[in-house]
């Protein structure tokens, strides 16, 4: 049996995504892919699985080597999700009794990932900010308010989310640098 | 990166960079580095795949290591002369640290 769950998690909180996927596996739902804003699952025996997510933005000919390194160290690539000029890679590994499986074992590498995400997502946030005046200037003079009002609301929500994302990531980076 | 910038990042360098460079005095693939460093440090340092890959791509971008060949899907890495220079600088720094640590009572 399969099922899909709609869940809204912004990238600055991707660790919550890892916890969510683990909890689903414990309940007998194994993650298969993220598609159409939904998490897709397949029913199985309840299992204790660690999920880890990384953002790969290297060159195409580097990806095989990247995935191979994860597989050599016991991770299985579950699914990828392409966004901007990189992709989120979802890895899984059976949980161990003694220690938690981690893909980042020092602060520098985790900070590097957060900075990468912050840079990419903020860039797109700025682009949205330029879209608002542009869309208003095309819709307002023609009196199509019923289009421009929802547009302003939509863009405002997006921008608030981007600001929250930037602040949250910056706080996490600061905390780790200390 | 300019020579001055390289010094800022790698002199001194992180423990991760140090062990990756040390291990790559011989050519190895990513997982080979992981195993080598675990052996060298009695499992104290066990690199996560994300951490190691991040370090490899940064060291490669900065010209301290290079890809020398490929074996199937795995790329084989090795230290470059620039990498060796910085590893030597780090060695001098650690020797000084070690010598001065004798003063701890």
Quote the percentage of chain A above a pLDDT of 90.
57
Terminal CA-CA length for chain B: 42
| Chain B (13-72) residues lying within 8 Å, Cβ to Cβ, of chain A | 14-16, 29-31, 34, 45-55, 57-58, 70, 72
Instruction: Find out whether A4 and A41 touch, Cβ atoms under 8 Å.
Output: yes
Q: With b meaning 16 or more CB within 10 Å and e meaning fewer, what string describes A148-168?
A: beebeeebeebbebbeebbeb
HEC per residue, B4-64: HHHHHHHCCCCHHHHHHHHHCCCCECHHHHHHHHHHHCCCCCCCCHHHHHHHHHHHHHCCC
d(CA A159, CA A165): 10
Q: Do B74 and A65 touch (CB under 8 A)?
A: yes
Instruction: Give the nearest chain A residue to B16 (CA atoms).
Output: A106
d(CA B91, CA A9): 45
Q: Give the pTM.
A: 0.89
- Band the pLDDT of A142: cuts 50, 70, 90: low
Closest by CA position to A106, among listed A17, A13, A176: A176
Closest by CA position to A43, among listed A90, A3, A94, A92: A3
The alpha carbon of B21 is separated from its chain's Cα centroid by a whole number of angstroms, namely: 3
What is residue A144's predicted lDDT score, i.e. its pLDDT?
67
pLDDT tens, A33-51? 999 889 999 999 999 999 9
Q: Is B105 helix (H, G, I), strand (E, B) or coil?
A: coil
- Band the pLDDT of A143: cuts 50, 70, 90: low
What is residue A80's predicted lDDT score, i.e. its pLDDT?
95
Q: Do A68 and B74 touch (CB under 8 A)?
A: yes
What is residue A54's predicted lDDT score, i.e. its pLDDT?
95
Nearest-CB residue to A69 (from B16, B31, B46):
B31
pLDDT tens, A4-28? 999 988 888 889 999 999 999 999 9
Spatial CB neighbours of A92, under 8 Å, sequence gap ≥ 6:
A21, A31, A49, A50, A51, A52, A75, A76, A78
Residues of chain B scoring pLDDT < 70: none
Closest by CA position to A50, among listed A75, A81, A14: A75
pLDDT tens, A158-177? 888 888 999 999 999 999 88
């Amino acid at each position: 049996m399969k099922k899909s769950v709609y869940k809204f998690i912004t990238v600055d909180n991707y660790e919550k995504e890892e916890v969510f996927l683990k909890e689903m596996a414990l309940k007998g739902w194994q993650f298969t892919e993220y598609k159409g804003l939904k998490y897709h699952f397949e029913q199985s025996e309840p299992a204790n699985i660690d999920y880890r997510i990384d953002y790969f933005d290297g060159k195409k000919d580097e990806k095989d080597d990247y995935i191979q390194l994860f597989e050599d160290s016991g991770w299985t690539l579950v699914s990828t999700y392409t966004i901007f000029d990189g992709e989120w890679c979802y890895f899984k590994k059976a949980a161990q009794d003694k220690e938690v499986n981690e893909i980042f074992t020092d602060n520098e590498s985790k900070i590097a990932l957060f900075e990468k995400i912050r840079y990419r997502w903020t860039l797109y946030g700025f682009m949205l900010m330029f879209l608002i005046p542009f869309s208003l200037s095309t819709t307002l003079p023609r009196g199509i308010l019923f289009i421009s009002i929802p547009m302003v609301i939509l863009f405002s929500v997006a921008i608030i989310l981007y600001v929250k994302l930037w602040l949250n990531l910056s706080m996490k980076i600061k905390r780790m640098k200390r | 990166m300019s020579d001055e910038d390289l010094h800022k990042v790698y002199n001194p360098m992180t423990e991760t960079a140090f062990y990756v460079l040390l291990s790559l005095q011989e050519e190895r693939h990513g997982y080979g580095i992981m195993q080598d460093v675990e052996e060298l440090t009695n499992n104290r340092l066990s690199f996560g795949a994300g951490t190691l890959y991040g370090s490899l791509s940064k060291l490669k971008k900065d010209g301290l290591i290079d890809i020398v060949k490929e074996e199937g899907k795995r790329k084989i890495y090795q230290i470059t002369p620039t990498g060796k220079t910085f590893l030597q600088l780090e060695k001098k720094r650690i020797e000084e640290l070690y010598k001065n640590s004798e003063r701890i009572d």
